Structure 1
Amino acid sequence: MPHVADSSPLIPLYVNDGLLRPEQVGSLRHSSPHEPLDDLRRRYGHDGYLFLKGLLPREDVLKAREAYFTLLAPSGVLAPGTLPVEGVFDKDKDKLDFPGMVTGSTDGNGRPRGGRFVDLALQAHEEPWYKDEFCKHPTLHSFISKFTGWGDNTLGLTRSLLRNNTPQNKAIGVHYDQIFLRYGEDTSMTAWVPMGDIALDGGGLIYLEGGHTLGRDIETSFYDLAKETGLSEEETRNAFNKNMMSGGLLADGPKEFSEAHGRKWLTTNYEAGDVVLHTPYTIHASTINKDPNNVIRLGTDLRFVDSSRPYDRRWSNVYTFGDGV
């Protein structure tokens, strides 16, 4: 299947700072994992991402989704009479009691608000069906090892971010991943895996057009300035992080960021089995989940590295709240 770039979506898309204007929105290029690898590599280098349709078996993704929501069901998040695999939010509940693991509000101690819901969402990271099976899916590992040329040196980092996003709650702000992986080389690759179908307005990831070049420029300009002022490598990392917003963001609002840099946000509807690979400098965010059927958006960020090269070893442990990474 040749790559496809659809026309701009017509469905209204909301982000943390409002409604994106039609001219601020475009569509991700679709690629098939069965295309020649050299073609896919060129596309990845040019776009900063590779949106692969149906890379993973759909049934494997839905099996993991079902396990996740079966685990979270005792929190009361799911609508009565629905199946866990559907992941339908109980609209009669207060959305603020069910915040996203990363983007939600916090209590007085800095812990995410959400009680049992958040505790179970954190627990999911350690469940064998997720940590030992889904995150190490042989199809994904095999494709990345061939695509990158890393072969037997391909390593999936243990730390991952399994994010849910209940309808109408806050979305993910603007960032690129090297911000969080700065204790290693900038050679990692992220695989964002939607764990279930995500409608166009269902809170999926959005990618800034040409965002990988802008992200690299932002990183380079800061390091050049730090070098001129005589900061050590460690001081530079700490100084960069202090210049980020809370949580390591470039900005909370994608709309204003798009306006400031004159670039579109690219998106699509995602299906279980799809995977998006992106570079450590690819700038991305997400929309607010406005799914009309109250479907909870679920997806995970999996990081891969060449183990023969220096990488951020802080990512060698399962994600825990407040782990400082």
Structure 2
Amino acid sequence: MPSHDTSLRPFRDSTDLLGSGELLRRRADEDGYLFFRQLLPRADVERVRRAISEVLVTEGSLVDAESGAVDRAHVDAIPADLMRQDIGISESAYVAVQRVQDMHRLPHHPALLALYRDLFDDEVFVHPRHIVRAMTGHPALRPTPAHQDFPLIQGTQNTWTAWFPLADTPLERGPLSVLRGSHRQGYIPIAPAEGAGLIEAILCDEDDWVGGAFEAGDVLTFPSLLVHRAVPASARDTIRLSLDIRFQPVSEPVEERSLSNHSDHSWEEIYEGWQVQDVQYYWRDDAPALSPWNDELLQPGRRIC
């Protein structure tokens, strides 16, 4: 079963490879991930953090938008069955966060599109199902277990996640770590688990975990077969805001759920009152072909170590 040793080797910085698809693909094949310092302008990331934080102040989860200080009494009083335990806040608060227009625009940033265009050597499709993690320290929350994204999103195995926090995030605030080289093992059988996704990959003696602190603007990206997990957080009085955004070549298939909103509300509800239309329903004209959902990928399995 997965090790819970939190010792980490540092990320290998691939910033100097930007602009070279061949070198990016070579590094990605070797390590299974790519890490970039300041790929996104800090001001653009801060704009999204501020907009989401203001929503959470209004909703009651935060007492201060700038510092990210959590209203522990408010959050801890929310019954577990009303929490989005994969997200860190209540379901109603998450719907409000999903309505933030700037959050939906950031995944289309030219720096991200250029990266994936070079990496794929193909045109890029941005999944509209963006995930905002707002980890608050609610008693029901558990760290994200070691898992692969593929059983949860399916479609092409060449779907890549961009993970990045919306503020400077030291290890004590629980950023993501990755198991270097694990993408080469293919699909790994799973077991039930607590935490986001409710599954964990059944690991043997794999222990080449890589991670570190993030600054706003840093981006970690990896394909859907790479095993990753959250570093257990020790700081619980401030929120950890982060985004999971997914990209894939437009020529490869996508599973239909990846075209829905992550709050499971309709797009019409999410877009109500928006002032801009450039990122609304963009996938209706040029989405990849659809692939079927495979329930067997989420059935508990066995792995002989």
Give the TM bin, normalised by the shorter chain: 0.7 to 0.9
Matched, 1:86 2:67: yes
The whole-number CA distance in structure 1 between the counterparts of 2:262 and 2:187 is 29
Give CA-to-partner distance per residue, 1:42-73, whole Å, 9 cap, x none.
11111110011110000100110000010110
Per-residue deviation, residues 240-269 of structure 1 (Å, max 9, x unmatched) = 8xx654735125xxxxx67x4241322100
Residue 267 of structure 1 corresponds to 211
Question: 1: CA distance between counterparts of 2:242 and 2:183?
Answer: 21
Segments of 5+ residues of structure 2 without an aligned counterpart are: 267-292, 296-305
Classify 1:121/1:144 alpha carbon distance in 2 versus 1 (closer, same or farther; 3 Å).
same
Q: CA deviation at 1:322?
A: 8.9
Q: Name the amino acid aligned to 2:8.
A: V
Distance 1:195 1:33, change over 3 A: farther
TM-score normalized by the length of structure 1 = 0.70
Query: Which residue is 2:57 aligned to?
Result: 73
Change (3 A) 1:54 1:20: same
What are the equivalent positions in structure 2 for 1:160-239 lying under 5 Å apart? 160-167=130-137, 169-182=141-154, 184-214=155-185, 216-218=186-188
Shift of 1:173: 1.5
- Cα-Cα RMSD: 3.2
1:287 aligns with 2:231: yes
Whether contact under 8 Å (1:75, 1:117) holds in the other structure is: no
After TM superposition, give the deviation of residue 36 of structure 1 in Å: 5.5
CA contact (8 A) 1:165 1:171 kept: no
Among 66, 76, 82, which residue is 1:96 paired with?
Answer: 76
Q: Relative to 1, partners in 2 of residues 1:45 and 1:98: Cα closer, same or farther, differing over 3 Å?
A: farther
2:35 partner SS:
strand
CA distance in 1, matches of 2:174, 2:142: 10
Query: Do 1:180 and 1:248's aligned partners in 2 also have CA atoms closer than 8 Å?
Result: no
Indicate how the Cα distance of structure 1 residues 53 and 120 shifts in structure 2: closer, same or farther if over 3 A, else same: same
Q: Out of 183, 195, 200, which is 1:250 matched to?
A: 200
Aligned 8 A contact 2:61 2:89 in 1: no
Work out which of the residue numbers 97, 114, 123 in structure 2 matches 1:124.
97
Letter in 2 for 1:20: D
1 or 2 for the larger relative contact order (CA 8 Å, sep ≥6)? Answer: 1
The answer to which of 313-322 and 136-145 deviates more is 313-322
- For residues 312 and 33 of structure 1, the distance between their equivalents in structure 2, rounded to whole angstroms, comes to 33
**Once the two structures are aligned, what percentage of the paired residues are identical?**
25
Q: Secondary structure at the match of 1:30?
A: coil
Aligned residues: 261
Q: In the aligned structure 2, how far is the partner of 1:97 from the partner of 1:204?
A: 25
Residue 274 (structure 2) aligns with: none
The aligned residue for residue 273 of structure 2 is none
Instruction: Indicate conservation of the 8 Å contact 1:156/1:304, yes or no.
Output: yes
Offset at residue 316 of structure 1 (A): 1.1
Is 2:20 the counterpart of 1:32?
no
- Structure 1 residue runs without a partner (length 5+): 1-16, 100-104, 220-239, 252-256
Q: Cα offset for 1:195?
A: 1.3
Distance 1:146 1:55 in 2: 14
- CA gap 1:67/1:154 in 2 versus in 1, 3 angstroms: same
Shift of 1:271: 0.7
Q: Distance in 1 between matches of 2:206 and 2:17?
A: 34
Q: Return the letter of the residue paired with 2:30.
A: H
* Greater Cα shift, 32-41 or 264-273: 32-41
Aligned partners of 2:160 and 2:57: how far apart in 1?
32
Distance 1:118 1:302 in 2: 20
Is the contact between residue 18 and residue 24 of structure 2 (CA under 8 Å) also seen in structure 1?
Answer: yes
Provide the residue aligned with 1:234 in structure 2.
Answer: none
Instruction: Name the amino acid aligned to 1:318.
Output: N
SS at match of 1:180: helix
Aligned to 1:47: 31
Give 1:141's aligned amino acid.
Answer: L
Task: Summarize deviations over 1:115-163 as a string: whole Å, max 9, x none.
Answer: 98431223222322212x212222211221122211xx31101112111
Question: How many angstroms apart in 2 are the aligned matches of 1:117 and 1:145?
Answer: 36
What residue number does 2:301 align with? none
**Equivalence for 1:319:** 262
- 1:154 equivalent to 2:135? Answer no
SS in 2 for 1:201: helix
- Give the secondary-structure state (helix, strand or coil) at the position aligned to 2:246: strand
Give the CA deviation at 1:31.
2.2
Shift of 1:275: 0.8
Report which of the two has the higher share of strand: 2
